[in-house]
Amino acid sequence: MDIPSLVLKGDNKAVARAITLVENRDEQAQQLVKRLYPHTGHAFVIGVTGPTGTGKSTLVDKMIIEYRKRGKKVGVLAVDPSSPFTGGALLGDRIRMLRHNLDSGVFIRSMASRGDVGGLARATRDAVRIFDASGKDIIIIETVGIGQTESEIIRVADATVVILMPQLGDEIQAVKAGIMEIGDIFVVNKFDLEGANRTFYNTAALIGPRNGWKPPVIRTVAKTGKGIPELLDALRKFREYQEGQPNRQRVQKEKIAAELLGRVKQELTETVLRKLNQSPEFQQLVDRTLAKKTDPNTAARTLLRRLIRFTGE
Ligand SMILES: Nc1nc2c(ncn2[C@@H]2O[C@H](COP(=O)(O)OP(=O)(O)OP(=O)(O)O)[C@@H](O)[C@H]2O)c(=O)[nH]1
Ligand SMILES: [Mg+2]
């Protein structure tokens, strides 16, 4: 049986191979996603993000256990834009995976950047679709941090959970970094630590309703699993809210439109820059700029003019 057929049967080994293909941008990957795409749309995709060390991995682990109790199949993608490509699971994830080793209803996989962050967001989308087609009910995307790339990756999710903790220093930092805008649900984890109540009230005070949804703040102790059922309940409520929105169709259309434009932009930039980089004209302009016969700005504009002519404008 070929990889797509095995993925559709829920074979985790095939899922792993399929994700490697999209990660490597293998020729087969495009055909694979094409085959699987009609079988997607069933899963609920949850993004989990937040500053380093707030307990995301611990929490996701407990979420898996709770979802399994509720009879859901779970796929986890641990995406780390800052770490180099490893060609498979990171050590930590291998250890985590061992805990769920005998359970075919769980699959954990890490993805790392090869210095190509736009590509990482795209690979994340494809990996989500592979999980979805393989019959996972819940897909969790776990990312570190709150930068530009992370928010691009988190946009793939249907719901975003932001994990904070007491003693983070200054919650205002989180506000500045734009983290408060992306959360549909907030978690103050490590509620066993001192200052937890303060963080809870400060966080709640910063969140306002958006389109009739007031993001809740859930208190958890990921180490013990306290608060995890409440988190899953909040996620279910959010899903129901989202599915009941009258503009749902339009939102989904906008998401697809953004994805298509993003993909075209990426391909276009890559193709054009690669060709440009190989062209003698480009090398000449580099030399001329180096020799101060022209300046970088003029040189860039010269190239751009040629490109526009090249694409027929
Ligand atoms: N006291 C306390 N410690 C916790 C809790 N949850 C997690 N931790 C600890 O916090 C540390 C960081 O936990 P991780 O789950 O690795 O945090 P993370 O957010 O995934 O970290 P990065 O992936 O590095 O950003 C570990 O030592 C955990 O054992 C909690 O509820 N209470
Ligand atoms: Mg982690």
**What domains sit in the chain, N to C, each tagged with a CATH number?**
3-245 (3.40.50.300), 254-310 (no CATH)
Distance CA 310, CA 109 (A): 42
Encode pLDDT of 1-35 as tens digits: 899 999 999 999 999 999 999 988 888 899 999 99
Encode pLDDT of 60-109 as tens digits: 999 999 999 999 999 999 887 665 544 444 555 556 666 666 677 899 88
Q: Is the pLDDT of residue 44 over 50?
A: yes
Stretch among 142-156, 181-195, 243-257, 285-299 having the lowest mean pLDDT? 142-156
Give, for ligand 1, the residue of 49, 52, 57 to mutate: max count of ligand atoms closer than 8 Å to Cβ. 57
CB 215 within 8 A of CB 207: yes
CB 134 within 8 A of CB 10: yes
Q: What is the pLDDT of residue 240?
A: 96
Provide the H-helix boundaries in the chain. 3-8, 12-23, 27-36, 56-69, 91-99, 117-133, 148-154, 171-176, 179-182, 196-206, 228-243, 248-278, 280-290, 296-310
Name residues contacting ligand 1 (CB within 6 A).
52-58, 144, 189-190, 192-193, 221-223
DSSP letter (8 states) at residue 85 = P
Residue nearest to atom 10 of ligand 1 (CA): 55
State the ligand closest to the CA atom of 108: 2
Mean pLDDT of the chain: 86
CA dihedral of residues 62, 64, 65, 66 (deg, nearest 10): 90
Q: Is 104 exposed, middle or buried (0-12, 13-18, 19+ CB in 10 A)?
A: exposed
| CA of 224, closest atom in ligand 1 | 31
Q: What is the pLDDT of residue 89?
A: 47
Residue nearest to atom 7 of ligand 1 (CA): 55
Question: Ligand 2 centre and the CA of 133: distance in Å?
Answer: 26
Q: Is the pLDDT of residue 312 over 60?
A: no
CB 160 within 8 A of CB 178: no
Encode pLDDT of 121-167 as tens digits: 888 999 999 999 999 999 999 987 656 666 777 788 999 999 999 98
Question: Ligand 2 centre and the CA of 177: distance in Å?
Answer: 19
Q: What is the pLDDT of residue 158?
A: 94
Tokens of 79: 């995406």
Question: Ligand 1 centre and the CA of 141: distance in Å?
Answer: 17
When pLDDT is averaged across residues 195-221 and rounded to a whole number, the result is: 91
